[in-house]
A = this chain, B = another copy of it.
């Protein structure tokens, strides 16, 4: 497959950049933070995204989506990374749509996909329970109870948890706490009895929550995929999210690089434009190279998700690991080369380094994925 965007994807990219730069730039995130917004995202912007079809980018046309695939979904995420636009796009349009369209029953699809495509429902994936990502370590229990299940336990670091209409929850139906077998995925309405969600005050000013499940009763229809066989679909959903995050981080890294290069052309010290200093030139050029590598591996991962999703795990793993390293390098170099002004809250770079840190940790950091990569390669 050619490693260039086709015309559709290029048009989408231009449209996304135009829209986000105008309607949802970094100042929007700053305002949401400073106003103490309860939603943590702008509903008008979200409605406009739905209008443009972004919320349906991975929803089949039969269910009201535009079904453009992961490359397209990544193009949008990348542009959002440039502007740090806050929205439930990743948790809903990428991960929720992946979960339902690939693993949902006909009934589940019919119920949820049209709402997702229309931007009328938000989903959130509740997977982690400890400080480090580990999808096989599941302590939340789901015990059979009548025709259904009763869920108990606690999930943390749930992106968009408090604004979600429906939670996709991994719970243990069999086996011990770290067993790969015995995990089941459930669709749990956020307003179900026994579900309580508490929003966290995150460093990136984006949405994340902890979710407590106390005797939450769901019917057997709430199971997504097979009972006890939830890890595989969960990993697929996570991989969609990881690829999306990698794309987002790629956009953020590009933006950090470009902002910094522009600053280097402007700022004077010692009577010279600092961009003339060779040491800074070489570091910027090295960063450029790393950012280019990041763009390539993200595109490769997205293309593989489109072409052969069942074989995409390794490329996604490499992409998430690489972008964790690249985006953090970009943010660090951006601050250092900006000097004191980069340290001030007034300047935007701080938003980037903070968001990149959260994106890095979400669904496995670079160390997690490098280790997983090595295990997949059997060493």
Chain A interface residues toward B at CB < 8 A: 277-279, 281-282
Expressed in whole angstroms, the minimum distance between the Cβ of A233 and any Cβ of chain B is: 35
Q: Which residues of B contact A282 (CB under 8 A)?
A: 279
Describe A's contact surface by its main secondary structure.
helix
- Per the bound structure, the CA–CA distance linking A302 and B231 in Å amounts to 53
Q: How often does this chain occur in the complex, in copies?
A: 2
Bound complex: CA A206 to CA B98 (Å): 61
Q: List 6 A-B contacts (CB under 8 A).
A: A277-B278, A278-B278, A278-B279, A279-B279, A279-B281, A279-B282
A281 to B277, CA, bound (A): 11
Q: Report the minimal beta-carbon distance from A85 to chain B, rounded to whole angstroms.
A: 36
A275 to chain B, nearest CB (A): 12
A24: min CB distance to chain B, Å: 38
Query: In the complex, what distance in Å separates the CA atom of A279 from the CA atom of B282?
Result: 7
Q: How far is the CB of A274 from chain B (nearest CB, A)?
A: 11
CA gap between A282 and B278 in the complex, in Å: 10
Q: How far is the CB of A264 from chain B (nearest CB, A)?
A: 13
Q: Please, how many angstroms separate the alpha-carbon atoms of A281 and B279 in the complex?
A: 8
Residues of B with C-beta under 8 A to A279: 278-279, 281-282
A205–B278 alpha-carbon span in the complex (Å): 39
Q: How far is the CA of A117 from the CA of B281 in the complex (A)?
A: 56
Distance between Cα atoms of A277 and B278 in the complex (Å): 7
Bound together, the chains give a CA A321 to CA B277 distance in angstroms of 34
- Complex: how many Å from CA A184 to CA B276? 64
